[in-house]
Structure formats: C-alpha cells, structure tokens
C-alpha cells in the first residue's frame, strides 16, 4: 500500500511539473534509430538483474539447502553471464559499431574491429558463441525442476 | 580479419534447437510440479518462469535459425526486415522473465504464509478430530467422576450421625440430613418445604441472636454449646459448628451447620460428677462414723452400767439415763446408716428373686401409717425370674426407703406403681413411680446427698436415699430419678442380673 501510494505521489508530481514547465507539445513522439537497441539492451539488463534477485532470494529464503534450488541458482548465474555476453555483443555491434561483421560463406566470417585490434576481434568472436552460456543455463534450470519434482514424488 | 564461421553457426543452430527442446521439457516438468501442488505459489511461479523461458527460447531460437538461413542464402535484406520484430519479441520475453522473477520473493512469502496457515489449520483440524473422537469418552468419564463425587458427598450427608443442616441467606432451612429429623423432632417437610427459620430450633431466642451475631461477625462459629427445643417442649443440649458458603457459579450464599446432640454426654457427665461427689461424701461419712462409733459404744456401755447400778426407786436419775441410752441408740443408727452408705465390696453372694423382695416389702408396708391411704399398683415381671446377687436385707431396705419416700411425697392420697422388668443389657429394673407433685430440678441434683432432706427437722435424717444409693452401688447397679414438677417422680433401680442355675434364697 505504501509503495502504491509513493507511485501515485510521483505521478501527481510529474503531472504538476508538466504543467509548471511548459514546452512544445508533440502529439506523437518521434523515435530515433538507436531507440530499439537501447530498449533491447535494457531488456537484457532487466533480465540480468532479475536473475541476480532470484539468486539472492533463493539464498535469503534458505532454499539453497535443496539441490533443485541450487541448480536453479546456477542456471540464473549462467543467464547472468549470457546477458553480460549479449549486452557486450550488442554494445560492440549495434551501439558503438566497434566491429563490422560480414558473413562470407558457411565456413568464414569477417570481423573488422574499428581500431583493427586483433584482441577485440577475438573477444567479439568468443562472445558470438553465446549459446555456450544460455544452453547450460536452461539445462540447469531443467535439472533443477527435475530434482524438485523427484523430491516431491519421493 | 577472417574467422571460421562454422563454430558460430553450429553453436547457434544447435544451441537454438537445444534451447527449444530443453525449455519445452522444462515447461512440462514445471507443469507436473504444479499439478502435484496446485495451491503452491512457488510451483506456480516456476511454471510461469518456465513459460517465459520457453517463449524466450522459441522466439530467439527461431529468429537465430531463420537469420542464419537467410544470411547463408544471401537473403540478408529479408532478415533486416524481420530482425527488429524478432528482437522485439526477444525483448518482451526478457522483460516477461524478469517481471516474473521479481515477483518470486513475494510469491515465496505468500506461499510460506499459506503453508504456515495450512499447517496450523491441519494441526487444529487434527486436534478437533481428536477432541471429537474423545469428547464423548471424556464426557462419560467426567460424568462418572462427578456422579461418584456427588454420591460420596451424598453418602456423607445421608449417613452422618450428626445433623447437617443448610440454610439460605435468610436463615431458612433448605436442606437437612436424616440424622436431623429425630434430633430436632420436626419432619423434613415442616423444616424444608415449610421454609422454617432456624431460630425455631433454639430454646432461647436470645441465644440464637448471639450465635447469629457471631456468625455475621466472624463468618463461622465453632463448637458452640446451646439448647434446642423440640416441638413437644423437650429441651436438648447441642453443640453447633457453622460456616458460610459464598457459593459457586452464581449460587446464593448459604450457611452450613453441623449440630451434635450432646444431651446424653452431658447427662452422663452430670451423673459421673454426682457419683464422684457421693463417693467422696461416702469416704467422709465413713471416717466420721468410725470415729464417732467408738465413743458412742463407750457412752452406751457406761450408761447401761449406771442403769444397772442405779435403783429404779431413784426415778429422776433413772429416767435421765434412759434418755441418754435412747439418744445414743439413735446416734448409733445414724452412724450405722452412714457406714451402710459408705460401705464397699461387702455384698453377700445370695441369689435373690427381686419379684419376691418387692412383693414382700409391699405386703409388709401395706399397713404403714404413711401408706395406708395410698393405692399401690404392683406390676411384676411375668417372664423368667429376675435374679440378682447380693444382700436381700439391704435390697429390702432400699425398697422400703423408696416406698416410704413415695408415700410421704403423695401425702394422703395418690398411687404408687411398682414395676419390675428386664432390659437388653441383662439388667433387672425396678421402677417406683408416684403421681405426686414431683421434684424441682434444684432438689433433684442433691437428692442422693447424705443428710439432704425436704422433710421438717426431726422428721427425717436425710440418709434414706443416700443409703439406698450406697446399697445399689455396692451391688454393681445404679439408681436414677426422673421427675418434673407436677408430673410425678420415678425412681429406677438397675441391678445386674444373675444366672438362674443356682439356689434362690
């Protein structure tokens, strides 16, 4: 209730500020090209933070004593790593255009870092293998659920 | 810079398939968990997050697979058109998973509260079931205990030899045990149904006020002696203990009395005191008689010697000596009576038929001047012989004393009833009843004292009844007197009965 009340207060204050600080009114907001990737990045960040919350909650509630929940914690950890990976790839690729990627064939790919850094190219190449993080994450989640179910059936 | 594309492609495509498969079977597992415990909020959360992961895996994996296919087939432009939609769906799926996860803690707390309430509910339910199962048994057990306790209390109340009486706060009798009925002389209906005031039981109203005042002041009274009066006017001594019960469960205040009948005890104490007093007087009399008897013998001897020596011609001296001799004889008789009164353990072992003794004495006294006008009613026992062991002469003397006293009490007219009988204590009873004016309580207390007499001076020595008492006491018996003014008097002799198998005198 308190939280809802604070939200309501913030809404009212914003409305007042809008009235008190007038500006040119745009009937429809115009969106720039980078807006999509920022929203996507925020989505990753939100996902990452929610996984951190999940780990802490499992610890806080003492659920980590059960193997099933511990596996879900590990799953959340892998999802965090995957989100970091994805954030980095999108940052380098779509936000600052630090790398230019071209698929040459089924066998080759060209990665051209803006600063011609081999290390950045290598790092980017490794980051592109993000399924090595998200597949173990979902697999651990599955194992966790299986353990919990086995515990219930026992 | 050129890098091999195959690893990226393989990991991307295989990983996407793996994501689809694993997320789908995860959703299945979560559904199974949820079905196991439909009310479990955490499992509901796991199902939601599994759904989120599945949506995420499907959108992302299909997007990736499609992208790879389009890029590899040189249709990258198409992907540029589709890509933003795929990315948007991915973003929404992240958000969804994130949102669901953020609610996990709340879900867990709610679940914990639900589980805790459920456990408490189950515990209470079990208790209720247990109580229900045992309630009937417990009711039976408690009822039995209550009945036993009530029965015990009721037995104490019913069987008590002392009177237990309960009054309400207005001192009206509301309960009395069976022992109280003969003691008070009232019926239970008169006392309880008639709401009789306890004051009615007291012989003296002022005495009740004193006791009531004490109870009001101290809330109890302990072993207080007082007198009750029966409906027929008869008084009896009682000992009262009373306590206040303020009641339970909203009951009114009541007073509980325990009343002991101490009439017989007091009478016995009185009789014992009388016996002790008479015994003391007997010892005194014996001592005095013994001391006087010897000088009297000497005086009588010398008087008789002088009478022999003195010629009868000297009339004056001779007459004086005769007067001395006469009065010495009188003194010796008194001394002899005193010795009879005080004599102990000198009873003969003759076997005497008391019917015969009584009959002889009545015939002997029929012409006595004091009894000539008196009607004598003789009721002799018709059953087996009333034999006693003792001295017949002494017992005759007792009967003579009682009859002469009765005749004196009646004056010129009246009836003396003599009854012989037996009782259950193997005793012979001889009752001498007259219908004269009766004896006052004050006189009754002294009636067996030596030298106590109500006759004018010179008419009696006051030794008749005390001598009779001494004789009966020496025979192992007792003599009692009951009288009240205007109601006549009855003397009752109780003597131990002797066995019949012997020679009767």
Structural domain including A83 reads 36-97+131-153
Taking every pair of Cα atoms in chain A, the longest distance, rounded to a whole number of angstroms, is: 66
Residue A138 predicted with pLDDT over 90: yes
Q: Which of A76, A50, A141, A38 is nearest to B54 (CA)?
A: A141
In sequence order, the 6+-apart residues with CB closer than 8 A to the CB of B259 are B162, B163, B164, B165, B180, B183, B228, B238, B239, B240, B241
Do B317 and B189 lie in one domain? The reply is no
**How many Å apart are CA B293 and CA B280, to the nearest integer?**
20
CB contact under 8 A, A46 and B98: yes
Do B334 and B417 lie in one domain? The reply is no
A88 — contact with chain B (CB < 8 Å)? no
By C-alpha distance, the chain A residue nearest B105 is: A57
- The ipTM assigned to this model is 0.78
For residue B95, the chain A residues in CB contact (below 8 A) are: 43, 46-47
DSSP H or E stretch at residue B64: helix B41-72
B103 to chain A, closest Cα gap in Å: 9
B75 — contact with chain A (CB < 8 Å)? no
B88 — contact with chain A (CB < 8 Å)? yes
Q: Could you say which DSSP state residue B202 is in?
A: B
Residue A137 to residues A69, A72, A92, B1, B251, Cα–Cα distance (Å): 13, 9, 23, 31, 78
Tokens for B119?
Answer: 């456990």
B451 phi-psi bin (left φ>0, alpha ψ -120 to 50, beta other): left
**How many Å apart are CA B351 and CA B190, to the nearest integer?**
53
For residue B2, the chain A residues in CB contact (below 8 A) are: 104, 108-110
Tell me if A31 is assigned to some domain: no
Do B285 and B242 lie in one domain? The reply is no
- Neighbour-count burial of B480, counting CB atoms closer than 10 A to its CB (0-12 exposed, 13-18 middle, 19+ buried): middle
By C-alpha distance, the chain A residue nearest B4 is: A108
Do B57 and B194 lie in one domain? The reply is no
Do B206 and B176 lie in one domain? The reply is yes
If you compute the radius of gyration of chain B from its CA atoms, what whole number of angstroms results? 58
For residue A47, the chain B residues in CB contact (below 8 A) are: 94-95, 97-98
Structural domain including B51 reads 6-102
Q: What is the pLDDT of residue B505?
A: 52
- Interface contacts A/B by beta carbons within 8 Å: 132
B22 to chain A, closest Cα gap in Å: 6
Long-range contacts of B169-175 (CB under 8 A, 24+ apart): B169/B252, B169/B253, B169/B254, B169/B255, B170/B197, B171/B197, B171/B198, B171/B199, B171/B212, B171/B255, B172/B196, B172/B197, B172/B198, B173/B197, B173/B198, B174/B254
Per-residue pLDDT of chain B (505 residues; tens, 9 = 90+): 888 988 888 898 899 999 999 999 999 999 999 998 887 778 888 888 898 889 888 888 888 888 888 877 888 788 888 888 888 888 888 888 888 888 777 777 787 888 889 899 999 999 998 888 888 888 889 999 999 999 998 899 999 999 999 999 899 999 999 999 999 999 999 999 988 999 999 999 999 999 999 999 998 999 999 999 999 988 889 999 999 988 766 778 899 999 999 988 888 887 778 777 777 777 777 777 778 888 888 898 988 888 888 776 667 788 888 888 888 888 888 787 777 766 655 567 788 999 999 998 888 887 777 777 888 899 999 888 889 998 888 888 898 888 888 888 888 788 999 999 998 888 999 999 998 888 888 888 888 887 788 777 667 777 788 888 888 988 889 999 998 788 889 999 999 998 776 555 5
Tell me if B424 is assigned to some domain: yes
For residue B77, the chain A residues in CB contact (below 8 A) are: none
DSSP H or E stretch at residue B227: strand B220-229
Residue A23 predicted with pLDDT over 70: no
Summarize the confidence of residues A15-29 as an average pLDDT.
53
Do B242 and B273 lie in one domain? The reply is no
Q: Which residue among B22, B72, B100 sits closest to A138, beta carbon to beta carbon?
A: B22
A 1-30 residues with CB < 8 A to B: none
Tell me if A123 is assigned to some domain: no
A152 — contact with chain B (CB < 8 Å)? yes
Do B308 and B415 lie in one domain? The reply is no
CB contact at 8 A, B432 and B416: yes
CB contact under 8 A, B33 and A131: no
Tell me if B129 is assigned to some domain: no
Q: Which of A92, A61, A125 is nearest to B115 (CA)?
A: A61
Tell me if A1 is assigned to some domain: no
Do B378 and B426 lie in one domain? The reply is yes
Task: Supply the angle between the helices A67-90 and A35-60 in degrees, to the nearest 10.
Answer: 160
A72 to chain B, closest Cα gap in Å: 10
Tell me if B460 is assigned to some domain: yes
**How many Å apart are CA B102 and CA B108, to the nearest integer?**
11
Do B356 and B479 lie in one domain? The reply is yes
Which of A4, A32, A39, A43 to probe the B interface (max B CBs under 10 A)? Answer: A43
Q: What is the pLDDT of residue A144?
A: 95
Question: How crowded is the C-beta side of A74, counted as CA atoms within 13 Å?
Answer: 14
A84 — contact with chain B (CB < 8 Å)? no
For residue B25, the chain A residues in CB contact (below 8 A) are: 142
DSSP H or E stretch at residue B278: helix B263-309
For residue B16, the chain A residues in CB contact (below 8 A) are: 131
A61 — contact with chain B (CB < 8 Å)? yes
Which of A99, A103, A121, A133 to probe the B interface (max B CBs under 10 A)? Answer: A103
Q: Which residue among B3, B99, B102 sits closest to A109, beta carbon to beta carbon?
A: B3
B 34-63 residues with CB < 8 A to A: 36-37, 46, 50, 53, 57
Tell me if A86 is assigned to some domain: yes
Do B234 and B356 lie in one domain? The reply is no
Do B219 and B237 lie in one domain? The reply is yes
Task: Assign 3-class secondary structure to B108-174.
Answer: HHHHHHHHHHHHHHHHHHHHHHHHHHHHHHHHHHHHHHHHHHHHHHHHHHHHCCCEEEEECCCCEEE
- What is the domain-level CATH number for residue B180? 3.30.450.20
Residue A117 dihedral angles phi and psi, to the nearest 5°: -80, 120
By C-alpha distance, the chain B residue nearest A143 is: B26
Tell me if B331 is assigned to some domain: yes
Do B369 and B487 lie in one domain? The reply is yes
| Block residue for tokens 């039981």 | B201
3 state DSSP class of B501: coil
Q: Are strands B427-434 and B489-496 parallel, antiparallel or unpaired?
A: antiparallel
Tell me if A14 is assigned to some domain: no
By C-alpha distance, the chain B residue nearest A113 is: B1
Tell me if B141 is assigned to some domain: no
CB contact under 8 A, A142 and B22: yes
Boundary-marking domain end, from B342, B375, B407: B342
Q: Which residue among A36, A43, A63 sits closest to B94, beta carbon to beta carbon?
A: A43
Q: For a pLDDT cut of 90, what percent of chain A falls above it?
A: 37
Tell me if B150 is assigned to some domain: no
Whether the pTM exceeds 0.80: the reply is no
Instruction: List the Cα angle A20/A22/A27 in 5-degree steps.
Output: 130
- Neighbour-count burial of A51, counting CB atoms closer than 10 A to its CB (0-12 exposed, 13-18 middle, 19+ buried): buried
3 state DSSP class of B185: coil
Tell me if A55 is assigned to some domain: yes
Tell me if B505 is assigned to some domain: no
A 120-139 residues with CB < 8 A to B: 121, 125, 128-129, 131-132, 134-135, 138-139
Domain tally for chain A?
A: 1
Tell me if A78 is assigned to some domain: yes
For residue B22, the chain A residues in CB contact (below 8 A) are: 135, 138-139, 141-142
Boundary-marking domain end, from B226, B261, B296: B261
Compute how many other C-beta atoms are within 10 angstroms of the C-beta atom of residue B324.
Answer: 17
DSSP H or E stretch at residue B229: strand B220-229
CB contact under 8 A, B23 and A109: no
Q: Which residue among B32, B57, B88 sits closest to A149, beta carbon to beta carbon?
A: B32
Domain tally for chain B?
A: 4
| Block residue for tokens 């980095």 | A88
Burial of B347-376, coded b for 16+ CB within 10 Å and e otherwise, reads beebbbbbbbbbeebbeebeeeebbeebeb
Tell me if A19 is assigned to some domain: no
Tell me if B242 is assigned to some domain: yes
Q: What is the pLDDT of residue B187?
A: 92
Summarize the confidence of residues A86-100 as an average pLDDT.
85
Tokens for B60?
Answer: 């992302």
């Amino acid at each position: 209730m308190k939280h809802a009340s604070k939200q309501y207060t913030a809404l009212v204050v914003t409305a007042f500020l809008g009235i008190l600080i007038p500006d040119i009114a745009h009937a429809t907001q115009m969106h720039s090209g980078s807006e999509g990737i920022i929203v996507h990045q925020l989505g990753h960040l939100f996902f990452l933070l929610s996984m951190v919350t999940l780990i802490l909650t499992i610890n806080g509630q003492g659920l980590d004593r059960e193997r099933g929940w511990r596996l879900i914690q590990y799953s959340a950890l892998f999802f965090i790593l995957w989100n970091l990976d994805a954030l980095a790839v999108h940052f380098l690729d779509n936000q600052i255009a630090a790398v230019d990627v071209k698929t040459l064939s089924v066998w080759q790919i060209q990665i051209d870092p803006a600063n011609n850094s081999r290390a950045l190219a290598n790092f980017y190449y490794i980051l592109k293998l993000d399924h090595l993080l998200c597949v173990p994450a979902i697999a651990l989640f599955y194992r966790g659920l299986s353990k919990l179910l086995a515990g219930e059936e026992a | 810079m050129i890098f091999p594309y195959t690893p990226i492609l393989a990991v991307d495509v295989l990983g996407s398939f793996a994501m689809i498969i694993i997320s789908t079977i995860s959703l299945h597992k979560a559904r199974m968990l949820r079905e196991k415990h439909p009310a479990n909020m955490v499992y509901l959360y796991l199902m939601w997050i599994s759904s989120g992961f599945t949506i995420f895996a499907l959108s992302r994996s299909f997007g990736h697979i499609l992208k790879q296919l389009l890029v590899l087939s040189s249709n990258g432009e198409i992907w540029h058109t589709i890509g933003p939609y795929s990315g948007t769906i991915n973003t929404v799926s992240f958000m969804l998973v994130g949102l669901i996860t953020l609610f996990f803690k709340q879900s867990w707390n709610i679940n914990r509260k639900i589980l805790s309430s459920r456990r408490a509910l189950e515990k209470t339910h079990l208790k209720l079931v247990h109580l229900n199962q045992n309630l009937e048994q417990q009711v039976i057990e408690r009822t039995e205990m209550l009945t036993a306790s009530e029965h015990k209390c009721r037995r104490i109340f019913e069987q008590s030899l002392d009177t237990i009486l309960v009054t309400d706060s207005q001192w009206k009798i509301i309960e009395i045990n069976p022992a109280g009925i003969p003691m008070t002389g009232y019926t239970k209906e008169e006392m309880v149904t008639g709401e009789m005031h306890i004051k009615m039981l007291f012989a003296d109203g002022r005495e009740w006020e004193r006791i009531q005042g004490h109870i009001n002041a101290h809330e109890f009274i302990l072993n207080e002696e007082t007198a009750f009066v029966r409906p027929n006017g008869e008084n009896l001594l009682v000992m009262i203990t009373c306590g206040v019960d303020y009641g339970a469960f909203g009951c009114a205040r009541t007073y509980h009395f325990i009343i002991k009948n101490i009439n017989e005890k007091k009478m016995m104490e009185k009789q014992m005191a009388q016996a002790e007093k008479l015994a003391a007087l007997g010892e005194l009399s014996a001592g005095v008689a013994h001391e006087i008897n010897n000088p009297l013998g000497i005086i009588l001897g010398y008087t008789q010697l002088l009478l022999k020596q003195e010629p009868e011609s000297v009339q004056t001296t001779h007459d004086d000596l005769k007067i001395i001799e006469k009065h010495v004889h009188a003194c010796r008789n008194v001394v002899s009576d005193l010795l009879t009164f005080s004599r102990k353990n000198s009873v003969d072992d003759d076997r005497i038929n008391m019917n015969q003794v009584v009959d002889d004495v009545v015939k002997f006294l029929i012409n006595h001047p004091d009894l000539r006008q008196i009607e004598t009613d003789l009721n002799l026992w018709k059953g087996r012989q009333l034999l006693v062991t003792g001295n017949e002469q002494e017992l005759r003397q007792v009967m003579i004393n009682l009859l002469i006293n009765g005749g004196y009490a009646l004056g010129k007219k009246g009836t003396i009833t003599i009854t012989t009988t037996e009782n259950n204590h193997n005793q012979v009873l001889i009752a001498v009843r007259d219908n004269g004016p009766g004896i006052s309580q004050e006189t009754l207390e002294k009636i067996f004292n030596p030298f106590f007499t109500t006759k004018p001076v010179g008419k009696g020595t006051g030794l008749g009844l005390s001598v009779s008492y001494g004789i009966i006491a020496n025979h192992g018996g007792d003599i009692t007197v009951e009288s009240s003014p205007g109601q006549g008097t009855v003397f009752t002799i109780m003597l131990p009965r002797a066995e019949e198998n012997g020679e009767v005198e």
